[in-house]
Homo-oligomer: A and B are copies of this chain.
């Protein structure tokens, strides 16, 4: 499968627009852990994921992190091209959570097509609305949900993504996803272990009672 079949609005572009994108496109293979974009870097461009997994997060002045959203196969990352819109005034960091293959559409090319094309502009709207919904969900989580529920929900999400109950993940990484501290997560996971929901070993969280964890996460 090639770019044309991955890019959701390929058929809505005219021949000339298709040519411009094809001729400016870059294909990249990035290793797990690579920082693909951060707020201070140049405007990287739109990312279309062929395969892999990306994480978008924000950083505090003190270096704390919280995950804003994650992207998977066929997803498009808009905020790595934040310079295409004047009103985007925040900085996001994007990191490969797995080895990832992706296409980069240069920001200036996408911008000039979007300015002329209603379908591309409306597609961009839907992309942004979808990320907006992720962020609103996050605010609700952070504001109204206690950390035990958020940790439980995160473990279940990871288990669904990785298709296993044996999660290879450190307490620090969980803390960085949830905007918490490692020590707090460790304490929480030990409590989960006492309750029989997980079993902890070095670098691994084994989910032993998914049902109970799901009940807690509600």
Copies in the complex: 2
Residues on the B chain within 8 Å of A15, using CB: none
Contact A89 B133, CB 8 Å, known A117-B118, A121-B121, A144-B64? yes
Does the CB pair B139–A58 fall under 8 Å?
yes
Main secondary structure of the interface of A (DSSP, over half): helix
Instruction: Look across to chain B and name the residue whose beta carbon is closest to the beta carbon of A114.
Output: B122
B residues in contact with A126, CB < 8 Å: 85-87
Among residues 130 to 150 in chain A, which have CB atoms less than 8 Å away from a CB atom of chain B?
130-133, 135-140, 142-144
Q: How far is the CB of A105 from chain B (nearest CB, A)?
A: 16
Task: Tell me whether A87 and B136 are in contact (CB under 8 A).
Answer: no
Q: How far is the CB of A136 from chain B (nearest CB, A)?
A: 4
A136 touches B85 (CB 8 A): no
Taking a contact as CB atoms under 8 Å apart, the answer to whether A122 and B132 are in contact is no
**A116 close to B (CB within 8 Å):** yes
B85 near A129 with CB under 8 A, answer yes
**How far does the alpha carbon of A10 sit from the alpha carbon of B201 in the complex, in Å?**
63
Report the separation of the CA atoms of residues A10 and B62 in the bound assembly, to the nearest whole angstrom. 45
Whether A128 contacts B139 by the Cβ 8 Å rule is no
Q: How far is the CB of A113 from chain B (nearest CB, A)?
A: 10
User: Out of B125, B133, B142, which one reaches A143, CB within 8 Å?
Assistant: B142
Residues of chain B contacted by A60 (CB below 8 angstroms): 140, 143-144
Cβ-neighbour of A135 out of B85, B139, B143, B144 (below 8 A): B139
Give the complex CA separation of A125 and B114 in angstroms: 10
**Contact across chains for A85 and B125 when beta carbons are under 8 A apart:** yes
Tell me the A residues contacting B by CB distance below 8 Å: 58, 60-62, 64, 66, 68, 85-90, 114-118, 120-122, 124-133, 135-140, 142-144, 179
Further 6 A-B residue pairs, CB within 8 A, beyond A58-B140, A60-B143, A114-B125? A85-B129, A86-B126, A115-B122, A118-B118, A124-B125, A138-B139
